[in-house]
Structure 1
Amino acid sequence: MNAASFLNHVLRNATSTTGHRKPPQSTNAKNLTAAILNHLRLGRISKAVSILFSSPVPLDFSLYARLFQLCASSRAIVEARKVESHLVTFTPNPPTFLLNRAIETYGKCGCLADARELFDEMPRRDGGSWNAMITAYSHNGCPGKALDLFSHMHKSGIYASEVTFSSVFGSCASVLALWLAKQVHGLIVKYGFCGNVILESSLVHVYGKWGMMSESRRMFDEIENPNSVSWNVIVRRYLEMKEGEQAVLMFSKMVRAKVRPLNHTVSNALVACSSIHGLKEGVQIHGYAIKINLEVDEIVSSSLIDMYTKCGDMESASLMFKLPSSKNLIAWTAMVSGYGMSGKIREARELFDEMPERTTVSWNAMLSGYTHFSKWNEALDFLSLMLKETRAVDHVTLGLVLKVSSAIMDIELGKQVHGYVYRHGFYCNLLVSNALLDMYGKCGNLRCARVWFYAISHLRDEVSWNNLLTGYARHELSEETMTMFWKMLGETMPSNFTFATVLAACANIFALEPGKQIHGFMIRNDYEMDIVITGALVDMYSKCRCIDYALAIFKVADLSDVILWNSMILGCFHNRRYEKVLELFMLMENEGIKPDHVTIQGILLACIAEGCVELGRQYFDSMTDKYCIIPRLEHYQSMIELYGRSGWMDELEDFIKKMPFEPTEAMLIRIFDLCQEQKHFKLGEWAADQLNRLNPTIPFQIGTADST
């Protein structure tokens, strides 16, 4: 018979009904109590409980309460069971408050079966009994059972305490039961618990967990005197919702309110600074941490190093790393990652090699540095070393290896990773699944990409669709891209990245109507017309011969991006609106936008089409003189075309002699053809001689009908 059953048996046959009367204390009991207390003072809880368990007489209730408390704090489950057994064996009618302590102890020790068995056997329960059992469920990862028990408690007409409500809110947050949380919120108001800082902080927590930050913030603002826990909750919730600026703002308000933060609050504020690259704010928080003597805290110092590395201040991170409190695994890993992601690969590797211990995260941090800066061979060598020293490969490692495979177009490596994914159960990880899809697309194995895409139909998300669409578009399968896009609309909402890919496909096959439909879909669904989408629309309408549509979009766009100007200039050129090209360039200069080599190429092409030799020469000369752009091969080819087509052969000859390099074979062939057209035999003979010297097997002769 276990202790709970024995308790029930004793209580049914007890003759006494006085619930809280203390047992009489004999001389022997007093001596045992003194011995037990002496062992407790020396920290010998096991010895103390052994003396109690061997005692044939009941002891003072306060001693049982203290023993339960010590068992709970030290997670001594065996001793807790002995204490409960002795209590129910030698006390005919043990007080409810002690049985409640026993339930709390079992809960803190993680023994929910013992706690629930004792709870069910209790003939009399009070609010503390229900609260102890609900708290035990809540704190041991059983939120559903906690909520179910709370429902039974409420139906039994027992009023919940503040502690009960706090546990229930925690369970609501765990299972995201917003509807129930709102009902409990109503009960709190009904029972007059408004103004309790613990419950109000719990409300902030549960609404924040649901992503309802406006409601969470409203509840926080209603707290009359928020304590450090309340502030920690609101900062943490903003951070989890990726609202880093608000998290930092709330931390600054906490400082102004003169509330000393927890170390976790300072850490969360620093993580928020990292997320928004707020180096200035991070430095200020660092100064405050020094002021309140939290810089030496291990959690805070690690967060400071992480903040400095992610904000690119490796010098400050290095100074922090030299502190004794910073020599932990998290700080080592953050430093390796910081050096790697800032391009200091050698320093990262030296630090990595010095690490006293490493985790998978450490290996991934170093591998990320190699892949981020396209050091593919070094990444493969490092991966080989990693597999020799550890088998602790996770989904991040697999994603990085697939990135390497995609970059070097090594389909065999990708397939090996795919096999590893199947053998070790990573196929349910969406990050890995999407990385596989991306790898097959970039390596050109679209059949495998399509098969895998359908294999993860139960997992796939917007990124999965984008990877497949990008794979089709990259290999100029524009019709397939469009077909898959229409199917995508039936499963998930596309992003701006999706639209950019699909609009490019429309442009490649001159699909004006689908392009218009996509444009309309974006307008109807209030998508942001960012610079990428605007450029894609301009390009699509230009290539589909709707230059007026492209110009209309261009006029209302943000005109600060040179790439957008280039798209519009080239679009006008391809639509034979040459005068518009020159007009756009003048407008571009008036707007203060500095042209690049693509802009000048578009202007030179328009000058060729219009025969504006002088203007074209001015723009070519202005590349170095005015815009500090080094002319490229295509610019020299355009000037040759401009002079030759317009019959400026002397100027062409002078231009060729002044070029900083020898003409290429393609240039010489074009010069030869232009001399044939313009009957400029002197320059033509020179071009023929140069070509014959480069390729004697195919003789060139000026004056012939066929130049090849």
Structure 2
Amino acid sequence: MSLSHSSSSNHYCALLKLCCETHNFTKAKNLHSHIIKTLPYPETFLLNNLISSYAKLGSIPYASKVFDQMPHPNLYSWNTILSAYSKLGRVSEMEYLFDAMPRRDGVSWNSLISGYAGCGLIYQSVKAYNLMLKNDGSINLNRITFSTLLILASKRGCVKLGRQIHGHVVKFGFMSYVFVGSPLVDMYSKMGMISCARKVFDELPEKNVVMYNTLIMGLMRCGRVEDSKRLFFEMRERDSISWTSMITGFTQNGLDRDAIDIFREMKLENLQMDQYTFGSVLTACGGVMALQEGKQVHAYIIRTDYKDNIFVASALVEMYCKCKNIKSAEAVFKKMTCKNVVSWTAMLVGYGQNGYSEEAVKTFSDMQKYGIEPDDFTLGSVISSCANLASLEEGAQFHARALTSGLISFITVSNALVTLYGKCGSIEDSHRLFNEISFKDEVTWTALVSGYAQFGKANETIGLFESMLAHGLKPDKVTFIGVLSACSRAGLVEKGNQIFESMINEHGIVPIQDHYTCMIDLFSRAGRIEEARNFINKMPFSPDAISWATLLSSCRFYGNMDIGKWAAEFLMELDPHNTASYVLLSSVYAAKGKWEEVARLRKDMRDKGLRKEPGCSWIKYKNQVHVFSADDKSNPFSDQIYSELEKLNYKMIKEGYVPDMNSVLHDVGDSEKIKMLNHHSEKLAIAFGLLFIPPGLPIRVVKNLRVCSDCHNATKYISKITNREILVRDTARFHLFKDGTCSCGDFW
């Protein structure tokens, strides 16, 4: 390279600028080397450009070396290196340079203040600002300083600092600057002081689209939707950000339909849309399960530059999952060329929310293979999937992962773990973890309340509920479901009724279907069938299938044929393909010996092509799930299992066990009934556990139906004979069998 000395500096500066634009660090170093060789005494402004270039390319050591070797650094030199340290948050080096400066101007002070602010050091930022005003009063104040401090005050929620800076903005005549006015409006909005934000906005001499957009968004985080709409329509000129602000605001305030509608209007205006526009409208589509609109947005995205955008693709996955279209979500996810933790979490959560818990756990494993580190939301979600699977072993592994990664400190993870141990039957571990959590929110308390409720521990559940209230926390609908279900499983009718009334009158919660189902269950289980019917007749809406099935099940247990037929008719009308109505009514007739009616119901089922869901139980051993159905001989250890059952049956009878013939809904002889009872699925699973689960460890069995009375009675005897803890989780609750008793107190 041959350049004349007079023009070489300008050429080098131009080439250094090009290196920064192309992020070419190697080229910049080569140019620096050439400068040293060709210019023995480079000019100060060229060395300043070198410092600035190295700083922009992220190489502070090189920038610092050039600065240290400068024979005559000027104020710009000092400010350039100071700004570099400030932007990187290198506080100690920044402070050292600032103290060593022979002279300072507004840029110097702003670099110091910005550096502190970037690191969240509010005290140091304010101290530097006040020193600037006190020691360097002659300095021309910089609008960047004001905006920096306003943004800091906003992020930290520091009202006092915000008001102080506002006063100085007015005093020093900076209110006319949009660059300062917008952060002021934004600060007051984010602090919830929307009247102050509006006052600032109204007093601004000039308002541009940025100002309008800032206030619109501010009015939306504060829930002032109508005010936002009025302001939006007042605007003479609306840009893409204005429209996107409205879509985002509607979505944040739960007005998903309005968000979709205004997106349509924006589309008609032919305005440019960005990832935030698409992300917000897709969130709205998912919120109201608007699958068709979501597909239309997807089709539009495909025709834009955002079809491969990671943010938009993640929003598409989430939208399809919320609309229960898991196949489309998978298709979008698989096509993504680049995935981050948000993308993986969207797919994982989608699986979990749609009942694909095993796929959720597998997705987490796949994510690990790609080297993506989970955040608290990801880990919390996969733990929730383990809870749904009642997979204690895998859940415990994720607990260990939470401890080693430090994510255990996040409330989303700790809450998921409390739920996990509760759903897996380890209520003591759930309570221990609950006690270890320093900050507990409503979800934490509700998780433990629900855990105790599943065990039917009504007194403990109610005690926790009352402690939650004493701590000033507000129970939600889920909390009351847990407490009411605990009352129903313990037969506490009066207490349950009192809590139901307090939910409405004291806590202002409008009951949903689940609360009414709990109350129907409360009356029905206690044998107060007539009260259950009266309660149903007073409900503001018709019960769902679960409620009718609950009543019908109790009618079977207590032999109430009249109300049983009444409930069955409603259940058949509500859900003609639900076999529960036929099966439960059959059991009512069978208990009364009305076999002709049983046969008629079975014929009706056959004619309609309905099949009863087969009962099955499963147990996990060495990371493999073993599934059993009644009379199942498919397991490779079947001979040993059936032999073990024969031995157990002999010992149980010696202890006083008598088979419950009413649990058999077939018109066969007693010997055949006993044979059928002996080979129920949970008994096969328990026998497997006795053979292979080491002594001292509890046997954990999960069943897809309610435990029948005979199996419940038999398992009590088995726990006593074998001196083993047996935990059975059915569709309603946990049963912990130990020393011949069950945790449910024989009330389930």
Q: When the two structures are superposed, what TM-score results if normalisation uses the length of structure 1? A: 0.69
Contact 2:532/2:551 (<8 A) preserved? no
Alignment of 1:132-281 (within 5 A): 132-138=10-16, 142=21, 144=24, 148-156=30-38, 158-160=40-42, 162-187=44-69, 191=71, 197-213=75-91, 215-220=93-98, 222-223=100-101, 226-237=104-115, 250-252=128-130, 254-255=132-133, 257-259=135-137, 260=139, 261-281=141-161
What is the CA–CA distance in structure 2 between the aligned matches of 1:289 and 1:247, rounded to whole Å?
17
Match of 1:321 among 192, 201, 205: 201
What is the CA–CA distance in structure 2 between the aligned matches of 1:443 and 1:692, rounded to whole Å?
32
Deviation track 1:346-383 (CA, whole Å, cap 9, x = no partner) reads 43333333323332222222332333334344334433
1:150 alignment partner AA: H
Deviation track 1:156-178 (CA, whole Å, cap 9, x = no partner) reads 47245553343222212222223
SS at match of 2:272: coil
Match of 1:372 among 223, 228, 252: 252
CA distance 1:250–1:507, change in 2 (3 Å)? farther
CA distance 1:327–1:473, change in 2 (3 Å)? same
What is the CA–CA distance in structure 2 between the aligned matches of 1:257 and 1:659, rounded to whole Å?
77
What is the CA–CA distance in structure 2 between the aligned matches of 1:630 and 1:445, rounded to whole Å?
30
CA distance 1:234–1:346, change in 2 (3 Å)? same
CA distance 1:154–1:427, change in 2 (3 Å)? farther
Following superposition, the deviation at residue 246 of structure 1 comes to 6.6
User: Is 2:358 the partner of 1:494?
Assistant: no
- Partner of residue 216, structure 2: 336
SS at match of 2:450: helix
User: Is 2:339 the partner of 1:460?
Assistant: yes
What is the CA–CA distance in structure 1 between the aligned matches of 2:536 and 2:364, rounded to whole Å?
53
Deviation track 1:588-615 (CA, whole Å, cap 9, x = no partner) reads 4554545445444433433333344555
Following superposition, the deviation at residue 410 of structure 1 comes to 4.3
Alignment of 1:283-298 (within 5 A): 283-298=163-178
Alignment of 1:64-143 (within 5 A): 120-122=2-4, 124=5, 131-138=9-16, 142=21
CA distance 1:648–1:423, change in 2 (3 Å)? closer
SS at match of 2:489: helix
Contact 1:541/1:550 (<8 A) preserved? yes
What is the CA–CA distance in structure 1 between the aligned matches of 2:292 and 2:362, rounded to whole Å?
29
User: Is 2:287 the partner of 1:407?
Assistant: yes
What is the CA–CA distance in structure 2 between the aligned matches of 1:606 and 1:486, rounded to whole Å?
36
What is the CA–CA distance in structure 2 between the aligned matches of 1:316 and 1:586, rounded to whole Å?
40
RMSD of equivalent CA atoms? 4.2
Following superposition, the deviation at residue 495 of structure 1 comes to 0.2
Contact 2:251/2:259 (<8 A) preserved? yes
User: Is 2:309 the partner of 1:429?
Assistant: yes
Match of 1:510 among 390, 403, 407: 390
Following superposition, the deviation at residue 494 of structure 1 comes to 0.6
2:59 alignment partner AA: A
SS at match of 1:326: coil
1:207 alignment partner AA: Y
- Partner of residue 682, structure 2: none
Following superposition, the deviation at residue 504 of structure 1 comes to 1.0
2:111 alignment partner AA: V
2:83 alignment partner AA: H
What is the CA–CA distance in structure 2 between the aligned matches of 1:441 and 1:657, rounded to whole Å?
35
Contact 1:341/1:368 (<8 A) preserved? no
Contact 2:551/2:567 (<8 A) preserved? no
User: Is 2:236 the partner of 1:356?
Assistant: yes
What is the CA–CA distance in structure 1 between the aligned matches of 2:249 and 2:324, rounded to whole Å?
26
CA distance 1:472–1:688, change in 2 (3 Å)? closer
- Partner of residue 356, structure 2: 477
SS at match of 2:407: coil
What is the CA–CA distance in structure 2 between the aligned matches of 1:178 and 1:478, rounded to whole Å?
48
User: Is 2:419 the partner of 1:539?
Assistant: yes
CA distance 1:431–1:600, change in 2 (3 Å)? closer
SS at match of 1:489: helix
Deviation track 1:374-426 (CA, whole Å, cap 9, x = no partner) reads 43443344333323333423333333333344334444544454454444332
Contact 2:175/2:204 (<8 A) preserved? no
Following superposition, the deviation at residue 559 of structure 1 comes to 5.2
Contact 1:138/1:170 (<8 A) preserved? no
Following superposition, the deviation at residue 213 of structure 1 comes to 4.7
Tell me the matched-pair count.
576
SS at match of 1:476: coil
Following superposition, the deviation at residue 241 of structure 1 comes to 6.2
Following superposition, the deviation at residue 537 of structure 1 comes to 0.4
SS at match of 1:264: helix
Structure 2 runs not aligned, ≥5 long: 575-580, 602-748
What is the CA–CA distance in structure 2 between the aligned matches of 1:224 and 1:569, rounded to whole Å?
66
- Partner of residue 329, structure 2: 449
2:418 alignment partner AA: V
Contact 2:548/2:570 (<8 A) preserved? no
Structure 1 runs not aligned, ≥5 long: 1-115
What is the CA–CA distance in structure 2 between the aligned matches of 1:533 and 1:586, rounded to whole Å?
25
Alignment of 1:38-49 (within 5 A): none
What is the CA–CA distance in structure 2 between the aligned matches of 1:310 and 1:475, rounded to whole Å?
35
Following superposition, the deviation at residue 291 of structure 1 comes to 1.2
- Partner of residue 608, structure 1: 488
Contact 1:499/1:533 (<8 A) preserved? yes
Contact 1:405/1:413 (<8 A) preserved? yes
Q: Percent identity over the alignment? A: 28
CA distance 1:234–1:134, change in 2 (3 Å)? farther
Contact 2:454/2:486 (<8 A) preserved? no
Alignment of 1:496-645 (within 5 A): 496-558=376-438, 560-585=440-465, 587-588=467-468, 591-613=471-493, 615-616=495-496, 619-620=499-500, 623=503, 634-635=514-515, 638-639=518-519, 641-643=521-523, 645=525
What is the CA–CA distance in structure 2 between the aligned matches of 1:541 and 1:446, rounded to whole Å?
28
Contact 1:411/1:443 (<8 A) preserved? yes
Contact 1:172/1:206 (<8 A) preserved? no
What is the CA–CA distance in structure 2 between the aligned matches of 1:202 and 1:178, rounded to whole Å?
11
Contact 1:208/1:216 (<8 A) preserved? yes
- Partner of residue 307, structure 1: 187
CA distance 1:275–1:290, change in 2 (3 Å)? same
Deviation track 1:75-115 (CA, whole Å, cap 9, x = no partner) reads xxxxxxxxxxxxxxxxxxxxxxxxxxxxxxxxxxxxxxxxx
SS at match of 1:293: coil
Following superposition, the deviation at residue 520 of structure 1 comes to 1.0
- Partner of residue 398, structure 1: 278
Following superposition, the deviation at residue 664 of structure 1 comes to 5.2
Following superposition, the deviation at residue 569 of structure 1 comes to 1.7
Contact 1:597/1:629 (<8 A) preserved? yes
- Partner of residue 7, structure 1: none
1:187 alignment partner AA: Q
Contact 2:98/2:112 (<8 A) preserved? yes
